[in-house]
A and B are shown apart, each in its own frame.
Chain A
Amino acid sequence: MRSNRMGWALLAPTLVILAVVGFLPFFYVLYVSLFDWNPFSNQLGMQWAGVNNFRRLVFDGAFLDSLWRTGLFAFTSVTIELALGFLLAQTLVNSFPGRTIFRTIYVLPLVMAPIAVGATWRLLTIPGFGPIPYYLDRWFGIDFRLATYADQAFITVILMDVWHWTPFVTLTLLAGLTAMPKEPLEQAQVDGANRWQVFRYLTIPMMMPVLLTVIFIRLMDALRIVDEVFMLTSGGPGTATQFIGIHIYRVVVPKTDYGYGSAMSLLVLYFTIVLCWLLFIALAQVGKQRE
């Protein structure tokens, strides 16, 4: 009984912090989402709207577009990061001259703040002044104008994310590869398995928990991306790179549509939780299979 009380006492600070920074804002957002509340509307103050804000979301083309765009961005960038990350991790697991220097330089983007990453890429790509548009034009005759061509902007945003986060994927997978038992791999080679078979039937299954964890972390990050993209393109040209985070920002901050923005945030939170849950199920499933 005493130890139980002691346990709660020790937990109390954490629970209080969790309630203040987690639950209270969540319930406040839930509350606000049930109102029409724009300080610059004709009706000042909060007007009861019930679930009308959520109903509006279903028919909001701009919201649905940004959701779809975010999904496409997250899927593409995480897939590329995984493929590249795995390749580089496989390379770095072996010893070669200059490996330490390469690894040090390679992980540098990881320590950069997202806003600095966005600023760096902006300076690199700004039309008229950036080296990338200059050399693309000079060497390949490519008219690279990030603020004009939607496809170029979208691809550049993906490349920026890949540049920023592939080192993280590589390091994590490298840790997984290093920790992998060597015996099964050696046994398979003795049994005559070729490199592809070893990779397909041993490495991948053994790395699955690490892979899923990496996917989990990177997907969450990619879905909530804001700073780098806002710095690089501000969501443009048009709405070509207006991902859901930027879209919500525009609705809540400059447009001051607090009620609708809250409903939007909650729906996105719901989608994210569902996605997390699916990944968690997959992770648990893999764990069971391994047992």
Chain B
Amino acid sequence: MLKRKLTVVLGILVLFSMVLSACAPAALPAAQPAAPAVEGEASWWRTAAQTAGCEGVTLRGISESTPPSRYAADVLAKAFEAETGIKIELEATSWDEMYTKAINDMQAATGIYDFVYIEQDIIYQYLANNYLTNLTQLLADNPELASPDFDFAKFTTFIDNFKDAEGNIYGVPMEAFLKVYLYRKDLFSDPAIQEAFKAQYGYDLAPATTHAQYRDIAEFFTQYGRDNGLDLWGTTVQGNTGHASSFYEFFESIAPTFGVYNWGINMDNWKATVENGGEMNSDKAKEALAFWVDMLNYAPPEATASTWDEVAASFAAGRAAQGWVYGENAAWIATDPDRSRVVGNVGVALPPVAEGVMEDAESGVGYIGYYDGGAFGLPVSSKNQLCTLLWLQYIGQESVQADWAIAGSRIVMESTYDDPKVQEVDAKVDGYYTLMKEAGPLFRGAPPFPFHAALREVVQPYIWKALSGELTPAEALDQAAAAADAELVNLGYGQ
């Protein structure tokens, strides 16, 4: 009896697993290792690995699970291992977990990780704590391990984010992109839609250049989706009410377009409140937050649960007509039919700005959005410094950049812009790479705060409360600015 029952149960399990296997997506094609530039260089890597005694060594790294990181793990790591005999174990995980693990490792000096992802905004914290190895010095001390195909000078000015006051470099840039304004070209160019829009608002439908236009477009397409029974809304909002991503969208993408820079912190006296010289609760900041919170009315229902990943997924699913989207997702949204329903219909433009902001950006006083990115750095606690130096140079070769740029919409070297493969994709992404090259200087990374995460943790609950309607935008920013002032004093700034 028991035997019969067991047979039945096992039979069901086998059948179930067969069904699951049948439903599973086809296996991904094997990653193509980046081809070495020339035969001689390949042997240079092997020789260098032998010189440094690195053959058979395993290097462990941690990074956020982004398209560029996954390319590094799936393609570059394998190619590097084939050339040098050094194995790379790159843990691509969530943004939160990445920081937790990396900081804990470096703080305790346990040496688990040989390389860590350093986002542009966290570098100042890491430098202040002497977590990172000076790569300029390490290369100078070990000239025999300096690759002929690696040169810091070949990187874009983005590499400046990873320098100390003396110009020493602490990270090899591996991704850099803009948070751009994406819109649906198919919708924006539809004659019937254009006509309806003009009839309703009195001007032509085009990518928004002002916040008022952005709001009109968002309102129009939300209503359009409703009227036509479509899962379509007017805008994305990275408005997760329990995750730092919403804090970043507001302070690094929305507030600057209203003329509020550096999170509204006065960098001369480290104060946030208007009464102390800051701008976090200024009228401009309150207007920005009110605008952004209002956008939730025209955003898909998942907006308050969306981080950067979900925003990209929502746009790729065709659920939003426009939005601020991280550029690292632009290429796959525009070109990958397996993941995106808007292939061929993605438009790229500069975000809308308030009066005077573009002039601020052009003169260098301000900026119109976020220039994000990161580098791989070598923790002081790593026990494989020289082997990691080889790996960092390997990913910093000119020859691996073009394919990486296509896979991850990231460019860290000037020469990559001119690569034919990149230019081909550029056309499909409505000139995203060209926009990055030409308008990149109008965008800026996070302000150089050594207290970045600590301050963010204090301020973000108020942004979440504004998004959930628990506080008005004005109340939220007044309370946030007061809390920021108190925390900065607590951290030893702005006494």
Q: Select one of B100, B451, B469 contacting A41, CB under 8 A.
A: B451
Nearest A residue (CB) for B465: A238
Given the known interface contacts A40-B125, A129-B302, A235-B242, the answer about A250 and B457 at a Cβ–Cβ threshold of 8 Å is yes
Chain A residues with Cβ under 8 A from B453's Cβ? 40, 254-256
A22-63 contacts to B (CB < 8 Å): 38-44, 62
Cβ of A145 within 8 Å of any chain B Cβ, yes or no, is yes
With A41-B492, A148-B241, A148-B468 as known contacts, state yes or no: A127 contacts B305, CB within 8 Å.
Answer: yes
* B466 to A, closest residue via Cβ: A238
- Give Cα A35–Cα B89 distance, bound, in whole angstroms: 37
How many A residues touch the partner, as a band? 35 or more
Give the most central of B100, B300, B468, B490: most A CB within 10 Å.
B468
Query: What are the residues of chain A within 8 A of B96 when measuring CB–CB?
Result: 254
- Do A237 and B454 have beta carbons less than 8 Å apart? no
Q: Residue of B at shortest CB range from A239? A: B461
Instruction: Flag if B468 contacts A44 (CB, 8 Å).
Output: no
Are A38's CB and B491's CB within 8 A? yes
Chain B residue contacts of A44, Cβ below 8 A:
128-129
Whether, in the assembled complex, B33 has its beta carbon less than 8 Å from a beta carbon of chain A, the answer is no
B455-469 residues at the A interface, CB under 8 angstroms = 456-458, 461, 464-465, 467-469
**In the complex the two chains form, is B99's CB within 8 Å of A237's CB?**
no
Interface residues on B, range: 35 or more
What residues on A are CB-neighbors of B273 within 8 Å? none
Q: Does A128 count as interface, using CB distance less than 8 angstroms?
A: yes
Establish whether residues A42 and B103, one from each chain, have CB atoms under 8 Å apart when the complex forms. no
B243 contacts across to A, CB distance below 8 A: 234, 236
Taking the closest CB of chain A, its distance from the CB of B251, in whole angstroms, is: 16
Q: Which residues of B are found within 8 Å of A42, using beta-carbon distances? A: 450-451, 491-493
Q: How many angstroms between the C-alpha atoms of A38 and B96 in the bound complex?
A: 18
Contact in complex: A237, B241 (CB < 8 Å): yes
Tell me if A126 and B125 are in contact (CB < 8 A): no
Q: Which residue of B100, B302, B450 is within 8 Å of A127 (Cβ)?
A: B302
With A254-B457, A255-B454, A256-B453 in contact, do A145 and B240 touch (Cβ < 8 Å)?
Answer: no
Q: Say yes or no: is B301 at the interface (Cβ < 8 Å to chain A).
A: yes
**Residues from chain A with Cβ under 8 Å of B240 in the complex:** 147, 234, 236
Interface centre among A42, A43, A129 (most CB of B within 10 A): A42
Identify which of residues 289-334 in chain B touch chain A, using a CB-to-CB cut-off of 8 Å: 296, 300-302, 304-305, 319
Are B242 and A237 neighbours in the complex by a CB distance under 8 Å? yes
Report if A150-B100 is in contact (Cβ < 8 Å); known contacts: A234-B240, A238-B465. Answer: no
Q: How far is the CA of A241 from the CA of B470 in the complex (A)?
A: 13
A45 to chain B, nearest CB (A): 10
**Cα of A233 to Cα of B301 in the assembled complex, Å:** 15
- Complexed CA–CA distance, A267 and B470 (Å): 29
Evaluate contact between A126 and B305: CB separation under 8 angstroms: yes
B452 on the interface (CB 8 Å rule)? yes
> In the complex where A237-B242, A253-B100 touch, is A39 in contact with B129 (Cβ < 8 A)?
yes
Q: Is A271 close to B, CB under 8 A? A: no
Contact with B along A245-267 (1 / 0, CB 8 A): 00000110111110000000000
Q: How far apart sit A257 and B125, CA to CA, in the bound complex (Å)?
A: 14
Nearest chain A residue, comparing its CB with the CB of B103: A256
Cα of A251 to Cα of B454 in the assembled complex, Å: 9
Give every chain A residue within 8 A of B103 (Cβ-Cβ): 39, 256
- CB <8 Å contact, A236 and B464: yes
Q: Does A146 contact B (CB under 8 A)?
A: yes
Shortest distance in angstroms between B448's beta carbon and chain A's nearest beta carbon? 13
- The interface bits of chain B over 223-241 (1 if a CB of A lies within 8 angstroms of the residue's CB, else 0) are 0000000000000000011
A127-147 interface mask toward B, CB cutoff 8 Å, 1 = contact, 0 = none? Answer: 111000100000000000111
Chain A residues with Cβ below 8 Å from B461 are 62, 238-239
Question: A280 an interface residue at 8 Å Cβ cutoff?
Answer: no
A222 within 8 A of B: no
Q: Does B210 contact A (CB under 8 A)?
A: no
| B107 touches A (CB below 8 Å) | yes
Docked pose: A133 CA to B129 CA in angstroms: 46
Q: A40 is contacted by which of B100, B319, B450 (Cβ under 8 Å)?
A: B450
Contact of A237 among B128, B470, B490 (CB under 8 A): B470
Across the interface, B468 reaches (CB within 8 A) one of A127, A133, A237, namely: A237
Which residues on A are within 8 Å of B, measured CB to CB? 38-44, 62, 126-129, 133, 145-150, 233-242, 250-251, 253-257
**Chain A to chain B contacts (Cβ below 8 Å), 14 pairs:** A40-B452, A42-B492, A127-B302, A128-B300, A133-B301, A146-B305, A147-B468, A148-B468, A237-B242, A238-B241, A238-B468, A239-B465, A254-B456, A256-B107
With A126-B305, A250-B457 known, 16 other A-B pairs at CB within 8 A are A39-B103, A41-B454, A41-B491, A42-B451, A42-B491, A42-B492, A42-B493, A128-B319, A148-B467, A236-B468, A237-B465, A238-B241, A251-B457, A254-B453, A255-B458, A256-B453
Q: Which 8 A-B pairs have the closest CB atoms?
A: A236-B242, A42-B492, A234-B242, A237-B241, A237-B468, A147-B304, A128-B302, A127-B301
